[in-house]
Chains A and B, each alone.
Chain A
Amino acid sequence: MRFRLTEDQVALRAGVREVLVRCFGAERLRDAVDAGGVLDRGLWRELGAAGFFSLCLPEAKGGVGLGVPEAVVVFEEAGRALLPGPLVATHLAAGRVPGAATGEAVVTAVGGGGLVEWLDDADVVVGSVEGAVALRSVDPLTPLHRVPGADPAARLDDLFVLLTAAEQVGTAVRACEAAVQHARTREQFGRPVGAFQAVKHLCAELLVRVEVARVAVYAAAVTVDPVDIAAARLLADEAAVRGARDSLQVHGGSGFTWEADVHLCLKRAWVRAERGGSITESEELLAGELLVEAS
């Protein structure tokens, strides 16, 4: 059993991280927030050129020919960078929608709760968006529409859910790193606040949630089993949402400001938790499976 990153996967992770620092580092993130949710076509094409969307497309079709585990590694990094845009939908459209693989086309899809991200910027939409109404999105980097009458319990594509979970893990990692960084450097009462147990323990739990969610996502990427995917998304949502909240707490008053990135983590985590579909459905799927195993 080799349930860990291969050398190639470690290299892939490092490579993607490098690309993302270059094309979507801290400054670009803030610029994007200031721009107010306008999709950066230049960035999209850069991502396309880096193979971001064609990753899993067979080489014969001009893709990179990698598998779901690699996609998960890449989307985790995207989540860590808080990279905006309908990344998962475009990735899944590669090979089906012309231009998606290269980043020429922006593809969005109707996700959980009948929500559609980046509708105004998309060239192609997967699913029906008749009568879509714009929301004032809580996340400054994810414009949202809602399709009235969309079935809230509609079953989503498993890969859509899994890659969303991978992004959640990445954002949870970011929240944890930010909390630890702050806890090490911010001093009160003459010492770094991370020396205080109440703070240290918040950080420790942040890490525990990240580690557990990450292995669940990786395992689901290997098995591509719907029940594993349901488990992975529950844990990844928890890691990202709780993680961002706890990170905000560790940041104190500065965490409550627009300038700190923590709120961006939290808001994106909320958006993705909806995108993954009904949490109740995932829990029911996992519960039902217990009876199958028991019979």
Chain B
Amino acid sequence: MDLAYSPEEEAFRARLREWLAKTLPSLPPKPSPDDWPGRRAYDLGWQRTLYDAGYGEVHWDASPTTRLIFLEETEKAGAPYVGAGFVGLLHAGPTIAAEGTAEQRARWLPPILRGEEVWCQGFSEPDAGSDLASLRTRARRDGDVYVVNGSKLWTSHAEVADWCELLVRTDAEAPKHRGISWLAMPMDAPGVTVRPLRTLAGSTEFAEVFLDDVRVPVANRVGAENDGWRVTMVTLSFERGTAFVGEVVACRRVLAEVAREARANGAWDDSGVRRRLGRANAEFRALWRLTQWNVSEGEASGGVRGASGGVPGVGGSVFKLRYSRARQELFEVAAEILGPDALDLGRGWVLDRLSSLSYTIAAGTSEIQRNIVGERILGLPKG
């Protein structure tokens, strides 16, 4: 049991730090949160910068520890996060790498890594949220294409996406988990309509997607026909297992800023406030340790490569349950410290407080995560 990094890992960290110090000052200014084309360009530009410097594949091909160092250092340096590249880099890409054919990997992976194409996730439907397997969007086979009809909901980044990891029902007769397939659908195909939805934070980060006789080549199916549920589990375990790691570092930085604010505005004099900040510090320290633990376990059990083999286990649900709550609690403390300013959307953290409300819902609600922990880790019977 140790927390020491190897000389190679430390060398990687030093190189990365130096590169970040040199590179970050020349980045263009961040676009406003509602400027989606601007955000797309910015996020892809950052991925391209990483790619050109040899860091493009860090989410996939590096050892988990190296990846951890990458996320830690980029976050500490205030570098951009994956942003619009989230789905492509953190779960569609890894899924294709793990489940796709050689042709599929060659077609879709390089553009993700080079920051050329954005992916979105078309899983949820109006009547299929937590009960995802009850999805109804149908794909009828017509020669070597699927003809897709239905609609998707809450699709993040749909407005600016080039591709969608789309779940469709390819066999209406089969039991509901058995008749699903996982398709890569081009978002510019005729019959795809995107209608942006406003979130409670006022932004348009997700959308409804209507699919009307959309023709998707059969060659775009990842995994076997009707085996899409299994492929989906791979995708979801990436989403829950590794996608939030960088944010823990970010939260620790925010927490320190919140403490500084408390000192500046006098809230610090209240021992109740200090105690809550202390608790939050304990929480995020432990979450970081949990991350390091999971990474070490993953590395030891052979899940060395994030994408080309190692699929994170159900332990991601333990992490997500605790992290999503801790993040919400962090911004509640921040709001208490801001006082009436917490009602001003112009203040930092107010939007974060609003958006943190999604963390116990998106990527599987906390109730669903508790079911997973109860049934798959503790072996309790299904309800």
Is B141 part of the contact surface with A, judged by Cβ < 8 Å?
no
Chain A contact surface mostly = helix
CB-nearest residue of chain B to A218: B1
Please indicate the chain B residues that have their CB under 8 angstroms from the CB of A288 in the complex: 274, 278
In the assembly, what is the distance between CA of A215 and CA of B65, in Å? 17
Collect the chain A residues with CB atoms within 8 Å of residue B142's CB. none
A184–B271 CA distance with the chains assembled, in angstroms: 43
Q: Is the CB of A230 within 8 A of B282?
A: yes
Chain A residue at smallest Cβ distance from B285 = A231
Q: Does A180 contact B (CB under 8 A)?
A: yes
Report the nearest A residue to B320, measured CB to CB.
Answer: A208
Given contacts A2-B296, A218-B289, A290-B255, contact A283 B274 (CB under 8 A): yes
* Contact (Cβ within 8 A) B2 A222: yes
With a CB–CB cut-off of 8 A, which chain B residues contact A254?
none
A1 with B292: in contact, given A6-B1, A280-B275 (CB under 8 Å)? Answer: yes
Decide if B263 touches A200 in the complex (CB within 8 Å): no
Q: What separation, in Å, do the CA atoms of A1 and B300 have in the docked complex? A: 10
Contact indicator A207/B318 (Cβ below 8 Å):
yes
Which residues of chain A come closer than 8 Å to B281, judged between CB atoms? Answer: 231, 286-287, 289-290
Residue B346, interface by CB 8 Å: no
Given A184-B379, A194-B381, A294-B259, decide whether A201 and B289 contact each other with a Cβ distance below 8 A.
Answer: no
Residue-wise interface mask of A (4-42) relative to B, using a CB-CB cutoff of 8 A (1 in contact, 0 not)? 111001000000000000000000000000000000000
* Cβ of A211 under 8 Å from chain B: yes
B52 within 8 A of A: no
Q: Is the CB of B290 within 8 A of A211?
A: yes
Let me know if B344 is at the binding interface, CB within 8 A.
no
Q: Do the beta carbons of A200 and B370 come within 8 Å of each other?
A: yes
- Chain A residues with Cβ below 8 Å from B370 are 197, 200-201, 204-205
Partner of B263 from A4, A208, A222, A291 at Cβ < 8 Å = A291
Q: A221 near B1 (CB under 8 angstroms)?
A: yes
Question: Cβ of A227: which chain B residues have Cβ within 8 Å of it?
Answer: 285
Q: Known interface pairs A207-B373, A285-B278. Does A223 touch B1 (Cβ–Cβ under 8 Å)?
A: no
A-B contact pairs, 20 of them (CB 8 A): A1-B4, A1-B292, A2-B300, A180-B380, A192-B380, A195-B383, A196-B383, A197-B370, A197-B371, A200-B383, A203-B380, A207-B378, A212-B322, A218-B289, A221-B1, A223-B3, A234-B278, A290-B260, A294-B257, A294-B259
Taking Cβ atoms with an 8 Å cutoff, the residues of A that contact B are 1-6, 9, 69, 180, 183-184, 191-192, 194-197, 200-201, 203-205, 207-208, 211-213, 215-216, 218-219, 221-223, 227-228, 230-232, 234-235, 280, 282-291, 293-294
Q: Given contacts A192-B381, A200-B375, list 15 more A-B pairs with CB under 8 A.
A: A1-B2, A1-B292, A3-B293, A197-B370, A200-B380, A203-B374, A204-B378, A207-B377, A208-B322, A222-B3, A231-B286, A280-B275, A283-B274, A283-B279, A286-B277
